[in-house]
Chains A and B, each alone.
Chain A
Amino acid sequence: MFIPHSDADIAEMLKKIGITKVDDLFTDVPEKLRYPELNLPEAVSEMEALKNLQEFAYANDSTQDLICFLGAGAYNHYIPAGVDSIISRGEFLTAYTPYQPEVSQGTLQAIFEYQSLIASLTGMEVSNASHYDGATAAAEACVLAYHHFRGKRNKFVISKGLNPQYRETICTYFQGYEDVNITGYEHTDPFESDDYLLSQIGTDTAIVYVQYPDFFGQIHDYTKFAESVHEKGALLAISVNPLSLGLLKPPGEFGADIVTGEGQPLGIPLSFGGPYLGIFATTKELVRKLAGRLVGETVDKNGTKGYVLTLTAREQHIRREKATSNICTNQGLMALAATVYMSLLGKQGLNQVAKLNFNKAHYAAEQLNQIEGFRVIQKGPFFNEFVLKCPETVENLNALLLDFDIIGGFDLSKYYPQLPNHMLVAVTEVISKDEIDYFVNSLKEVING
């Protein structure tokens, strides 16, 4: 199978080493603890392994079996066949981090193109080679801000419109920083205004974090907001849904200092939550404080263009305890998937798919808003997600919707106790008008049921 040695091989190898049995290699291991009996199942063949795994997979209902109106940070989008075809190539799949540039130009150039595409899409000057996901990218952005001000500004003003899982992750990351004060957890109005957020900023504020579109799907214009944040001397970070930027004004134009986001919508399967892709872009000014890998262009001794990992002196393997981040990987393969996806869709496709999401969500909102007892509550424009106030708990509705083969929207009361009976509905390009109409009719039946 995967270990090639025959008994004859082993005998010859042992002889060369100068020992008589394999056990002799493990004499340093405390004898009383050596060779524990493991309570694991018997080994299976490839054929049986596949069958076992299929059984697990069949025990799920996937978005192929059900119509999915669930988003809240992960979205069901169409992934063109070319994406998986490229990322399945062994040359990309089974390579390591490109520490040896001469034999890693494929990975390095692909990352360089990823950085370029993300910079273009977000309107920022620099993108790194990626982070784990949207949540950890947000936490690392706060780490960046904290160190940018050398700990002298220790307040993070975080919007309640930032994905609650990202907010939780930021809090966890900063457990070891006793002086840090993080806002955004008060049980006040979840739809707090931007003015309210601005009123929270003081001279001790390091970073202000907002989301675009926000967790409720709303699109804010942060132009003036950015000015006010900068007047107070703080950094502005914006977490984005990258797919929306095929249509929306890029956050770079607002004057964002840091743009992070969940890259999953860019050609990465839902896969029950991971692996995904953490987008992380900044201004040029912050590049030396940016955590994670960076690829730069250079030349070899013959003047041939090539790519290398650069500014590595910032990283943990050089700076050890003086490094501000311990990151030593990126999401290489997922960044490649996003690169291929953005290339395939290109200028036209990215705009088209963003518009499809926008239009379908608006059609769905319009239809749902007409059902008695339901109301779409959205203060301003939204992208592919919106909040639907329901006449009963979302948990109940979603359980009933399953009988109609529908995965309902996200139950907002899980994170916002102030929002009982509020469903966050996501509509992407894979949902047809007929399916939206079916969703509307199913909800009517459920209620009148």
Chain B
Amino acid sequence: MAESTIFEISSPGRVGVKYPKCDVPEYELPKTLVRKQLPMPEVSELDVIRHFTRLSKMNYSIDSGFYPLGSCTMKYNPKINEVTARLPGFALTHPLQPVDTIQGNLALMFELQDWLLEISGFSGITLQPAAGAHGEYVGVMIIRAYHDDRGEKNRRKMLIPDSAHGTNPASSAMSGFEVVPVATDKNGNVDIESLKSVCDENVAGLMLTNPNTLGLFEQNILEVIHIVHDAGGLVYGDGANLNALLGIVRPGDLGIDIMHFNLHKTFSTPHGGGGPGSGPVGVSKHLIDFLPSPIVGIIEEASEDFPPYYGFVEPKKSIGRIKSFNGHFGMMVRAYTFISMYGKEGIRKIAEGAVLNANYLMALVQDKYKVAIKRPCMHEFVLEGHWSTAPDIHALDIAKRLMDYNFHPPTNYFPLIVPEALMIEPTETESKETLENFADALLKIADEAKNEPQLLKEAPHNTPVGRLDEVKAAKDLVLCCWIPDNLN
């Protein structure tokens, strides 16, 4: 039974919140500027709470079950994060308040900058970008600004491995780069010959995801970076998969020049049904001057009696402002809380737990599913969701059938270089038992695929709705609720 829309449950005269009476005189707005109709719902508070509570129950979430979406790092989002982000001293501060009154916020941002630099091995950082893709755009703009500043405006070729996230080529194209693909070799690494063949004096950089989207650590990482640097290019690291590297190796130490973080993946801030994310960007020494402004700095060093005085600073050759205000501060508070609870020794346990879980899960299912590239994986791995003995079954069918077993499906059809890809990332917060239950479901489905393929083709069976007609959605393009006449 579908849930009515908020417009459909509207009833004239109802209101969900009462405001105080106006305690000042009323003023006139010219009639031509006054709106005549306000077609918004009229509902009570209880109507609203029930409606959205019912909707919430139609969602799968980390809080309700295992969410092995490859490349998305759906780890548990600690509840304490939600408490700290809502502390009135944070949540009720205006972004343009005098810096005297927001030293706590600035100190937190400064310390988080420091911690992220320590974890990643970079020299400078901005916390401003709103999401991973936004951070990536900042990254490619910095690369462009760097080459332009050196008088090398010819460097407009961005090298992107064919296994990369779609945002890599999209961000590069938005910034005026020509996208040049680089092949992947049979071991899942960047193909060195392919890379060498496109490295010339017009190369701006390489966008490298490491571990890559096959979940594999780039075995020739130092050589790859060396080749690009030798050609005068910069190496951009896509930090989407940083969870596998925490405390294991620092991207900056590997020679990567610039990288975005995903606070909403690696550092446990909630995904919120598609955002908000947060995508800080770290850079090596030679790129600090190009960071977007503002960034938090120390204006006056600490003395015996006083803590340091923080303020905003503008990097010398900054690419400029990339959004309003100071970035997703609420997400920074959460990430800070998370890192502080792991500390010096604990950070490495995150990567170890994530990589251990992925390899264990891969070991549990690899007899019945073809692993795309057979090598020990990092935090995730990619299976091929098809069998010659079940010719009609596709990765999508397996994904949908998993829902009947109360699991969220893995990422499917990505990376594009693997046929019928199922990309699985368990994260460190899942227990051995959860992984075993999930593996059992996958193994059962492999049998069902051969014996009862119809079960998969018609899946899911137990969800609020069945498979939805996406063609109809795109053709009819109904993007707004029906609005009852009495609201107009």
Contacts and interface: CB of A to CB of B under 8 A. Distances in A.
A150 interface: no
29 contacts: A3-B349, A19-B376, A33-B249, A40-B344, A43-B344, A44-B341, A53-B108, A57-B88, A60-B102, A63-B92, A70-B97, A88-B82, A91-B57, A95-B273, A100-B399, A116-B5, A119-B480, A132-B276, A219-B29, A245-B35, A250-B35, A272-B325, A274-B328, A296-B474, A306-B2, A311-B474, A332-B276, A343-B41, A402-B98
A105 B88 contact: no
Interface in A44-76: 44-46, 49-50, 52-64, 66, 68, 70, 72-74, 76
Interface stretch (B193-201, B353-361, B443-451): B353-361
Interface stretch (A152-160, A354-362, A371-379, A438-446): A354-362
Nearest to B121: A36
Nearest to A75: B94
A438 to B, nearest CB: 13
Contact of A275 (B14, B276, B465): B276
A272 B93 contact: yes
Interface string A196-234: 000000000000000000000001010000000000000
Contacts of A60: 89-90, 93, 101-105
Contacts of B399: 100
A10 B324 contact: no
B441 interface: no
B64 interface: yes
Given A50-B83, A296-B477, A410-B96, A100 B170 contact: no
A18 to B, nearest CB: 7
Nearest to B180: A321
A297 B478 contact: yes
A320 B133 CA distance: 12
B133 A346 contact: no
B464 to A, nearest CB: 5
A187 interface: no
Interface string B71-108: 01011111010111111111111111110111111011
Given A82-B48, A132-B130, 9 more contacts: A17-B363, A95-B59, A136-B324, A247-B29, A271-B85, A299-B472, A304-B1, A322-B173, A333-B276
B356 A13 contact: yes
A327 interface: yes
Contacts of A356: 19-20, 22
Given A168-B320, A273-B327, A293-B274, A344 B69 contact: no
B184 interface: no
A112 interface: yes
A273 B95 contact: yes
Size category of the binding interface on chain B: 35 or more
A343 B466 contact: no
A321 B170 contact: yes
Interface string B414-432: 1000000000000011111
A407 interface: yes
Interface stretch (B214-222, B227-235, B298-306, B384-392): B214-222
B219 to A, nearest CB: 5
Contacts of A1: 341
A232 to B, nearest CB: 24
Nearest to B318: A172
A330 B430 CA distance: 27
Contacts of A398: 98
A448 interface: no
A68 B94 contact: yes
Contacts of B41: 117, 342-343, 346-347
Contact of A70 (B89, B96, B327, B408): B96
B414 to A, nearest CB: 7
A27 B217 CA distance: 10
Contacts of A307: 468
Given A169-B323, A321-B169, A359-B22, A347 B107 contact: no
B104 A59 contact: yes
A409 B29 CA distance: 23
Contact of A436 (B24, B133, B429, B430): B24
A449 interface: no
B116 to A, nearest CB: 10
B166 A274 contact: no
B166 A317 contact: yes
B119 A40 contact: yes
B145 interface: yes
B207 to A, nearest CB: 11
A349 B17 CA distance: 7
B58 A105 contact: yes
Contacts of B52: 86, 89, 110, 336, 339-340, 343
A272 B326 contact: yes
A135 interface: yes
B363 A101 contact: no
A10 B115 CA distance: 28
A419 interface: no
Contacts of B430: 4
A73 B355 CA distance: 44
A41 B347 CA distance: 11
Contacts of A295: 479
Contact of B274 (A129, A178, A221, A316): A129
B363 A22 contact: no
A91 B250 contact: no
A52 B341 CA distance: 11
B87 to A, nearest CB: 4
Interface string A2-13: 111100011011
A294 B460 CA distance: 23
B328 A402 contact: no
A191 interface: no
Contact of A343 (B34, B48, B277): B48
Contacts of B268: 2
A111 B481 CA distance: 11
Nearest to B429: A2
Contact of B330 (A92, A271, A308): A271
Those 7 A-B pairs whose CB atoms lie nearest each other, nearest first: A57-B89, A273-B325, A43-B343, A90-B63, A333-B272, A59-B104, A273-B95
A163 B176 CA distance: 26
Given A269-B91, A351-B38, A275 B130 contact: yes
A429 B179 CA distance: 51
Interface in B397-417: 399-400, 403, 408-409, 414
B89 to A, nearest CB: 3
B24 A116 contact: no
Interface in A307-353: 307-308, 310-311, 313, 315-334, 336, 339-340, 342-353
A286 interface: no
A329 B277 contact: yes
B330 A274 contact: yes
B276 A38 contact: no
A352 B22 CA distance: 9
Contacts of B480: 112, 115-116, 119-120, 125-127
A257 interface: no
Contacts of A294: 479
A3 B105 CA distance: 29
Interface string A90-105: 1111111110111111
Contact of A298 (B39, B89, B321, B472): B472
Contacts of A315: 166
A333 B170 contact: no
A166 interface: yes
B324 A135 contact: yes
